[in-house]
Amino acid sequence: MQKNILVLYYTQTGQLEDIVKNIAQPFEDKKDEYNVTYYSIKLKEDFPFPWPGDVFFNTFPESYLQIPSEILPPPEEVLNKKFDLIIFGYQVWYLTPSIPIISFLKSGYAEDILRDTPVVTVSGTRNMWMLSQEKLKVYLKNLNAKLVGNIALVDRHDNYTSVLTILRWLTTGKKEKSGILPAAGISDEEIAGAGKYGMIIKKHFDNNHYDNLQPELVKNGAVEIRPFLVRVEKVGNKIFTVWSNLIIKKKEKRPLLIKFFKVYLMAAIWIISPIVLVFHILLAPVLRSKRLKQKKYLQGINLK
């Protein structure tokens, strides 16, 4: 009997769609054994791409506070089937799973689709996905899904280069290399090579045994942890909590506060984070074993 695989995702640029499709390819290659269904989450009112700058920053409070929008119902073929495996593609907006993903998870459709089903999460982000994955782990647990693997693809350029290229890409649509800046996003080679993770998933799926899936994915480069970025994310979450609540509460001052937030965010990236980096390096000898433990945990799929 054919096994049913669901590939669910949202994408604005097409990057995540390319990634999840490549991961699903080994299953597609054996159409007699596997039936692959694709479900691209659709919002009733989608976000624009490329993003007008003010809309990009105005999305921050709802993104960070995980306030959902309305999604269109998933197609019948998704609602009426029981899946044997789900490949769950998501991206991060403001250190949090994106609004379309949160909207799906909070929609009421998610539990029926995810319940008691093995899930492999696949993120395609700039580079700060680690604490979003922790937030997603909680949703999956509450929805009774079984997280069995995680793949986190990122832009491997340094943190500053990728800020510049992603802002250019998201606000103008221009992804290609230009001037001294490289192309934005996850490299073409890595996207094209994502099929190797699909092969690994398929092997464990066929054996119906997932205990060694995540260690094997990690061994093959599926999850890189940069300890400095974890530190930035921890600080970022604290500060975002304050900003997002302030902006939501002071409704009448929202346009002005969003402008301040934008200035603050740029200062945080270009001024505060290099200072944090200096302390991060200075503290390396003292915190080595703690950071190693943290890295091992974040590469895994368990929830603390």
Q: How far is the CB of 10 from ligand FMN (least distance, A)?
A: 6
Q: How far is the CB of 129 from ligand FMN (least distance, A)?
A: 5
CB 16 within 8 A of CB 124: yes
Interface residue list for ligand FMN (CB under 6 A): 11-16, 56, 59, 91-95, 124-129, 166, 170
**Which residue, 184 or 213, is less far from ligand FMN as judged by CB?**
184
Distance CA 182, CA 221 (A): 22
> Token pair 């640029």 is at which residue?
13
**Which residue, 15 or 273, is less far from ligand FMN as judged by CB?**
15
Distance CA 185, CA 215 (A): 25
Q: How far is the CB of 126 from ligand FMN (least distance, A)?
A: 3
Question: How far does Cα 190 stand from its chain's mean position?
Answer: 16
**Which residue, 16 or 36, is less far from ligand FMN as judged by CB?**
16
Q: How far is the CB of 304 from ligand FMN (least distance, A)?
A: 21
Q: How far is the CB of 287 from ligand FMN (least distance, A)?
A: 23
> 3-state DSSP helix/strand/coil percent for the chain, to nearest 5?
55, 15, 30
CB 173 within 8 A of CB 50: yes
The CA dihedral of 270, 273, 275, 277, to the nearest 10 degrees, is -130
Q: How far is the CB of 198 from ligand FMN (least distance, A)?
A: 18
Angle (CA) 19 22 25, round 5°: 150
How is residue 39 written in tokens?
């479900």
**Which residue, 55 or 282, is less far from ligand FMN as judged by CB?**
55
**Which residue, 63 or 107, is less far from ligand FMN as judged by CB?**
63
How is residue 293 written in tokens?
């433990």
How is residue 3 written in tokens?
């096994």
Q: How far is the CB of 164 from ligand FMN (least distance, A)?
A: 13
What is the secondary structure of 145-187 as a DSSP string?
-EEEEEEEEE--S-HHHHHHHHHHHHHH---S-BTTB---SS-
CB 117 within 8 A of CB 83: yes
**Which residue, 163 or 213, is less far from ligand FMN as judged by CB?**
163
**Which residue, 16 or 218, is less far from ligand FMN as judged by CB?**
16
